[in-house]
Structure 1
Amino acid sequence: MRYIIPILFASGFFFACQPSHEKETSALSFQQKYPKFSDYSLEYKTTTPPDDMQICLFANPLTAKVLIYVRQTDKVYNTPFSPEMFSIIAHEGGRAHATEIIPADSTHPELSYIVPFDVVHDRWFYKKTGLPGDLSLSYSLEIENLDQVLNFEIDKEHYRQYQKNDGLTKLTTLYNTYVDTAAQKSYQLSNGLSGFLHADDTEISSAGINLSLQAYQLSDSLKLSVKIVNHSNYELLIQPDVFILKSGSMLLQPVTSRTGMIQLRKGDRFIQDFIYFPEQEIAQFALLKEGIQVLADVNPTNLLIENLQFRRTESPPQGD
């Protein structure tokens, strides 16, 4: 999924690992040797390092990705490491396995390597936006060959500065959907559809047609992620170029290459991200109802009785 991330400025790069009797890799040498990872400027420390490894954990404040740098100091394990042998757990998120293992030294690839992860740091924020959320205050790292869990924490003042300057949660405006359920049920029945209706913050199930709608504004872009699954016995007609947003007197056209009518029969699904560029942050908007129609009779009719309303909502408070 395409992320909409503003161009932000991270703090200066610094590199530090757990205490080690071996000479530690310096910030400058790591940055020069591995420029691909020079944006991983946030440092997490552990007080319980393994005796035979130097392990550092760093995070990129711009993308919310994390990685570990591993250097074996006293011995080489007989079993080669593989991505599934590394897993990391975020304090407010979930568990993620490594995406790959990158040898850090081509001469002795078994001695040192970089292990990146794609972590969901905040499950609530991910459900609302599809974005990973703010980096966590702490992480737990598990390595299959070790019999211990390594806990990493970031300095709280550094973390507060990160949230203030680069945190996605603060920079993102979230929206919930709002449906007049009584009017919508009556409308469905009057058009020969089932009266079943369920609606929550981001999902609507109307007469066997399921809609999932995630909306958020980040910087100058507003993104609407749409997923429609047709479980009904009726055919749906989807018009992507009619997924127009209305806010007051302003109409926002979607940036999309898909035009014309898309037909969804029973069991079919439609998934697409729509991007809009409002001139300012908007508190509420409506999705025009004409973009989704159902063939319950000879002539198509709009699935929804009225334009679908979206209103700004607040993120849950973040812990210190």
Structure 2
Amino acid sequence: MRILSRSDIERAVTAKTAVDAMRVAFGELSGGQAVVPVRGHLESRHGITLLMPAFLGGSGGLGAKIVSVFPGNVADGQPPIQGAVILLDAATGSPRALLDGTSLTEIRTAAGSGLATELLADPAADVLAVFGAGAQGRAHIELLAACRPLREIRIVSVPPEGAEELAAALTERAASLVPPEGGSPPRIRAAATPAEALDGAGLVVTATTSETPVFSPEHLEPEAHINAIGAFQPHTREIPAEIVARARVIVDQREAIWEEAGDLIIAVENGIVGRDVIDAELGEIVNGRAAGGRGDRDFTLFKSVGSAAQDVAIAEAALSRAEDLGLGSVVPF
């Protein structure tokens, strides 16, 4: 069995590799080739532990992720999200690999947003507003900057020191935050308010632990694209219901969304929208069953709660490349 650490995975997986893996994951998920049970939740004293198995029938990937979400870890300087992914042989069930789940979660979540941005956002949009200065905020900045030229990146967080620290850290290596074909480094700064962050921003990422909307509807730029990935429980939301009502809403998986996505569940419960607010799954666009773009709506909103199909797809991509490069540790099992 091969064991891959964070550093192994970061060496093995490029932004393009990750986005292509998400194309496979969402395509199979919406095409009926993936078997993905609704994830199991276990609440403990300090957080939530999730069990997420999946089988990708088209590509043959089989595995599961166990991940913990412990928000209090931040105060102790530990990652709030930690976990592991195990890959199994689809023919025998034998364990093939154990991979760092924390880095894979960061990469695959950002890559899902990267794919959604490719398929839904204005290709000319080059100002990115990011709500949240944690691991997902950083991962989204790094991946989106590798996928398209960005002129400016604005970060807003509570408390504001997090945004300031992340902006300073990324500014030091701004030259690396460009697509492979090159370009000018983006200006990166902390924004004092949501309104300041959103002014002129055609791309928005919400990656927070907030239980209430992180911006007011009037501050969102017309025709903006939002990747909303922070809220994953029925009582939490980052996006105002008015924006949900005015957006073309694309999701990762309908079944999981109606179990977990407070951004949509609360809007339905409050009578702002109906369950038909979801226009399509992202995989339906990948498979050509739905169109990309904004259509006749004011905004586009990609709402994702995460799927084990993503975890297995990115783990398979990481393992394949790691085997080619001789990365990781091979141990008897």
Q: Tell me the TM-score normalized by structure 2.
A: 0.26
Higher helix share: 2
Q: Which has the higher contact order (CA 8 A, sep 6+)?
A: 2
Higher strand share: 1
Structure index of larger Rg = 1
Q: Tell me the TM-score normalized by structure 1.
A: 0.26
